[in-house]
Amino acid sequence: MKVHLKVWRQKDAKSKGSMVNYDLDNVDQHMSFLEMMDTLNEQLTLKGEMPVEFDHDCREGICGTCGMMINGQAHGPVPGLTVCQLHMREFKEGDTIYVEPFRAMAFPLKRDLKIDRSAFDRIIQSGGFITANTGMPAEANNLLIVHETAESAFDSAACIGCGACVATCKNSSAALFTSAKISHLAKLPQGEQEAAKRVLKMVSKMDEEGFGHCSNTEACEVKCPQGISVLNIARMNWEFNKASLLH
Amino acid sequence: MILDAKIPAGPLEHKWSHYKEHAKLVNPANRKKLTVIVVGTGLAGASAAASLAELGYQVHSFCFQDSARRAHSVAAQGGVNAAKNYQNDGDSVYRMFYDTLKGGDFRSREANVYRLAECSLSLIDQAVAQGVPFAREYGGYLSNRSFGGVQVSRTFYARGQTGQQLLLGAYQALMRQAALGKVTLHTRHEMLDLVVVDGKAKGIIARNLDTGVIERFAAASVVIATGGFGKIYYLSTLAMGCNGSAIWRAHKRGALMACPSWTQVHPTCLPQSGDYQSKLTLMSESLRNDGRIWVPKLENETRVPNDIPEEERDYYLERRYPSFGNLAPRDISSRAAKERIDAGFGVGTQKNAVYLDFSKAIKEQGMDKIKEKYGNLFSMYKKITADDAYQSPMKISPAAHFSMGGLWVDYELMTTIPGLFAIGEANFADHGANRLGANSLLQACVDGYFILPYTLANYLAEELKTEKINTDHPEFVKAEGAVISQLNQFVQIKGSRTADSFHKELGKLLYDKCGLSRSAAGLEEAITEIKALREAFYRDLMIPGNAAEINSELEKAGRVADYLEIAELMCHDALSREESCGAHFREEYQTADGEALRNDEDYCYVSAWEWAGKDMAPVLHPEQLVFEFIKLSVRSYS
């Protein structure tokens, strides 16, 4: 099938960017969206032009590297997917497809669709861990965690750190990402000791990095490829208030 | 060169504790003065970097990804093994040791494998303490499931995302050390050469992938934890960026490569659908706990699977290997699938797949139970294929997955270059000729958390006495110059083919001639063809832009250039081993039933290869495997 692409091209953070038109007429509906982009890049390369730079790695939806706005939606039109799992069968012959980078002040652009999400690493560095040096821990089954608690902690821990929540949010808030880690660790008995310190530090780091505030539109949950719930944000707020009162 | 594995003397169960009790130590004040480079941030690299930083060393951590959390350990699905015997089903460290040794077709060291099983116990404790949300029973105890090649349930899991959860545990430990200033992170940096000074590893040359700048880094020791090179087959379960460049460049600086042709081809992946395809997605082996594998008995069957009656289905694994059935080890399951597909019984539009059927399990256990166990895998299957596996069987096919081979290391995980260590999938050590499911996460973690911190100290204790090398040393200047000139060479060819097109051609060639089955004639042809392809690459490669900027095509070119050399070594390796063992199946050496025919008399050794120079035949240095504690037996699963 044939598609018309309008792709954001920008040499680096300082240069001015623009949408550039590309027509592709050899698209197979079984291709993934990124394989379609590969096909475009092969054509550009052979013409001696710079291919479109985009982030990607595992191509099975778990590493969190890929991400772009497709027709204005983070990771494209299908809920619960990363771009690498989106297939061309979701598009029709002759469709015009707009492809842009995730945009947020805290995610500076590197080139084309490639962005810098190191702010996420710094949020984790501020407190997204349990202090447990190698060699210290006691026998695992001495700590009982009921099935439902373990499953609920897993639901929060499943975040892949792709940044779609930030890109989707009109305020570029990182509340869903940050709260998922806070909840994952706060739900488990291992994480209790540091819970108060963790939430205060991570929330303040999130603000410091230039992410906006959460105004509860819940758009982030809709576009999260892992279906991370906004209830994590509620949990974060509760943990934050509790910690603020006690400290 | 006589290879010394440095295996401690004494009874099997005391070797590792004896080593730890007698290894040299570095005192805390001195650790601060020592810099260690760790390349790779998967489970092995992140766990090593975090553990070393906790001890007080100055660690520099490198990865090509934009965050340490994205390393490909993240994609491991099924689980991690440990001999906890929580299920009261007869498991023990010894049994796990024996299963792993047998699973590897008796082509690994007893002492290494025993240590792996022994350290598995602490790993689960460590991961739980970090907050890894393993599956739990209703009462709160840890839950287990079974994996291929064993008859106990020793696999711990976090739904189908065990690798992700273990990696996040290690990543968070790494981030904690970064915040404390003990680890310096170098994301988006690719190691392009190893710097050797007076015979010892003293640093690396790396390219900053965001700026194109070539940088030098000096250290007291270098640890390579860059994973496997299964992506050499192009179509594989690996991430697009996985590569063999760090280990290959270390190899060219003098580190021997062991058994590079031993690649695990995973039996349960999604089949190829077209030429544009960039990867083959893995479906966890855990699915074989409840899924039954079959093909139609009728050749050129046209009915949909649900219309084919029970008696017209060939459950070939259950038929050939009744005691292990659908949980036969990976090498055996993949070969059995290939046998049926080649015989004309394959299913799907390309006739390149077999069925994995859950209808019996759904009937027996109910839909909800199956959803809870495998929900995310079924939904991943649906996302990619648009098919509902709750209603009709999955279609699966074998794909290149794991490198058993890698840099040769001794018991201390040190390569043949003093000061250069290799951990996790990057080394050849514990899995022999075939890795058992859920042992790879284990090995990566055990190497990084529990082994390297001891063995590295044993090396660094002596290193304290030698003079510190700076990055203005002539060896750094020379290595940097070579890296820059290679990058410029790629850019200047201006030919008519992309790096990917060479990679795809190489991958197809390797699947055909150095894949699930190999023959002398095929391997000899492959060597000639690889040489020709390599010449074409240096003549006809097209890389746009230049080396001083973000340039994905240039990154690929360096990796493909290395693959074109690794591939040739793989073929030499496969050709020289005139036996079949584990994943290495030589057509000339098989039993009347088509099973692997091992030759312990002549080939009970690890093939370690030395780089002899460009266009020179590699030199073989066998490391004899000595079995003191177990008796070699025919590996039977029937």
CB spacing of B276 vs A126 below 8 angstroms: no
- Here the tokens at position B114 are 């025993």
A120 touches chain B (CB under 8 A): yes
Interface check for A114 against chain B (CB to CB < 8 A): the answer is yes
Fold (topology level) of A3-111: Ubiquitin-like (UB roll) (3.10.20)
pLDDT band at B442 (very low <50, low <70, confident <90, very high): very high
Compute the nearest-CA separation of A28 from chain B (Å).
Answer: 9
Q: Which of B270, B500, B546 is nearest to A40 (CA)?
A: B500
pLDDT band at B199 (very low <50, low <70, confident <90, very high): very high
pLDDT value of residue B536: 98
- Rounded-to-integer distance, Cα B237 and Cα A208, Å: 39
CB hemisphere CA count around B253 (13 angstroms): 30
Q: Is a pLDDT exceeding 80 seen at residue A247? A: no
Nearest residue to B245 via CA among B596, B560, B622 = B560
Between CA B226 and CA B206 the distance in angstroms is 14
Judged by CB atoms within 8 Å, which residues 146-175 of B form the interface with A?
158-159, 161, 164-165, 168, 171-173, 175
For residue A218, give both structure tokens.
């819940």
**Dihedral Cα B357, B360, B361, B367, nearest 10 deg:** 90
pLDDT at B321 over 90: yes
SS3 state at B292:
strand
| H and E: helices and strands count for chain B | 18, 20
User: B136 CB near a chain A CB, below 8 Å?
Assistant: yes
Instruction: Find the mean pLDDT for residues B1-26.
Output: 96
- On whether the CB atoms of residues B286 and B369 are closer than 8 A, the answer is no
- CB contacts < 8 A (A, B): 217
Question: Is residue B300 over pLDDT 90?
Answer: no
Task: Name the residue of chain A whose CA is nearest to B501's CA.
Answer: A42
Minimum mean pLDDT among A206-210, B66-70, B232-236, B589-593: which range? B589-593
At B376, the pLDDT band (50, 70, 90 cuts) reads confident
Residue B383 has pLDDT above 90, yes or no: no
What pLDDT score was predicted for residue B635? 86
Q: Where along chain A do the CATH 1.10.1060.10 domains lie? A: 118-246
Which of the 8 DSSP states describes residue B270? P
Q: Do B131 and A48 touch (CB under 8 A)?
A: no
Q: What is the pLDDT of residue B2?
A: 87
Indicate where chain A has its CATH 3.10.20.30 domain(s).
3-111
Cα atoms found within 13 Å of the Cα of residue A188, Cβ hemisphere only? 28
Q: Vertex B112, ends B145 and B436: CA angle to 5°?
A: 30
pLDDT band (50, 70, 90) for residue B583: very high
pLDDT recorded at residue B242: 98
Hey, which residues 168-227 in chain A have their CB within 8 Å of chain B?
184-185, 188, 190-191
C-alpha–C-alpha distance, residues B24 and B457, integer Å: 7
**CB interface of A with B, residues 50-89, below 8 Å:** 50-51, 53, 55-65, 80-81, 85, 87, 89
| Residue whose tokens read 């002899």 | B612
Cβ neighbourhood burial of B363 (10 Å; 0-12, 13-18, 19+): exposed
Adjacent-strand bridge partners of B39: B62, B224
Q: What is the mean pLDDT of residues B427-442?
A: 95
Q: Tell me the pLDDT tens digit for each residue of B400-427.
A: 999 999 999 999 999 999 999 999 999 9
- DSSP string over B586-607: BTTSB-TTS-B---HHHH-EEE
Who's near B457: CB < 8 A, 6+ residues apart? B23, B24, B25, B26, B55
Largest CA distance in chain A: 64
Interface predicted TM-score (ipTM) of this complex, two decimals: 0.98
How does residue B225 score in pLDDT terms, banded at 50, 70 and 90?
very high
**Rounded CA gap, B523 and B289, in Å?**
36
* pLDDT attached to residue B597: 96
Contact status, residue A88 vs residue A33, Cβ threshold 8 Å: yes
Cα of first residue to Cα of last residue in chain B, in angstroms, is 41
According to the model, what pLDDT value does residue B1 have?
83
Residue of B nearest to A142 (CA): B141
Band of the pLDDT at B351, cuts 50, 70, 90?
Answer: very high
Determine the pLDDT at residue B593: 87
- pLDDT computed for residue A10 by the predictor: 98
The vertex-B562 CA angle with B556 and B566, nearest 5°, equals: 135
- pLDDT on residue B380: 86
pLDDT of res. B374: 87
Q: Does A133 touch chain B (CB under 8 A)?
A: yes
Which of chain A's residues have a Cβ under 8 Å away from the Cβ of B53? Answer: none
Q: Sign of dihedral through CA atoms B33, B36, B41, B43?
A: negative
Closest CA to B510 of B526, B528, B533: B526
Instruction: Please give the pLDDT value at position B638.
Output: 76
Segment B531-548, tens digit of pLDDT: 999 999 999 999 999 999
Hunting for tokens 């290799």 — which residue is that? B422
Mean pLDDT of chain A: 97
Q: What is the pLDDT of residues B99-146, one digit of tens each?
A: 999 999 999 999 999 999 999 999 999 999 999 999 999 999 999 998
Q: What is the pLDDT of residue B152?
A: 94
State how far the Cα of B203 lies from the Cα of B146, in Å rounded to an integer.
42
- The whole-angstrom separation of Cα B235 and Cα B504 is 8
pLDDT of residue A44: 98
Give which of A63, A160, A194 to mutate to test B binding, by max B Cβ within 10 Å.
A63
Residue B473 has pLDDT above 80, yes or no: yes
Q: Read off the tokens for B305.
A: 């699977």
Please state whether beta strands B183-186 and B58-62 pair in parallel, antiparallel, or not at all (unpaired). Answer: parallel
Torsion of CA B356, B362, B367, B370, to 10 degrees: -50
Q: Are B41 and B65 in contact (CB under 8 A)?
A: yes
**For residues A223 and A75, is the Cβ–Cβ distance under 8 A?**
yes
Mean pLDDT across chain B:
96
Residue B217 confidence (pLDDT) above 90 = yes
pLDDT higher than threshold 90 for residue B228: yes
Chain A positions touching B210 (Cβ under 8 A) are 110
Q: What is the pLDDT of residue A196?
A: 97
CA–CA dist B356, B343 (Å, integer): 18
Chain A CB contacts of B273 under 8 Å are: 30
Residue A72 pLDDT: 97
> What would the pLDDT profile of A172-198 be if each residue is shown by its tens digit?
999 999 999 999 999 999 999 999 999
Q: Is residue B434 within 8 angstroms of chain A, CB to CB?
A: no
Distance (Å, whole) CA B291 – CA B393: 9
**Chain B: residue whose CA lies nearest to A126:** B179
Marked catalytic residue, from B330, B586, B598, B635: B330
B497 is catalytic: no
Give the C-alpha separation, B395 to B399, whole Å: 13
- Sheet containing B619-624: give its strands across: B427-428, B406-408, B257-258, B605-610, B619-624
Q: How far is CA B625 from CA B14, B519, B634, in A?
A: 19, 25, 16
CATH-assigned architecture of domain A118-246: Orthogonal Bundle (1.10)
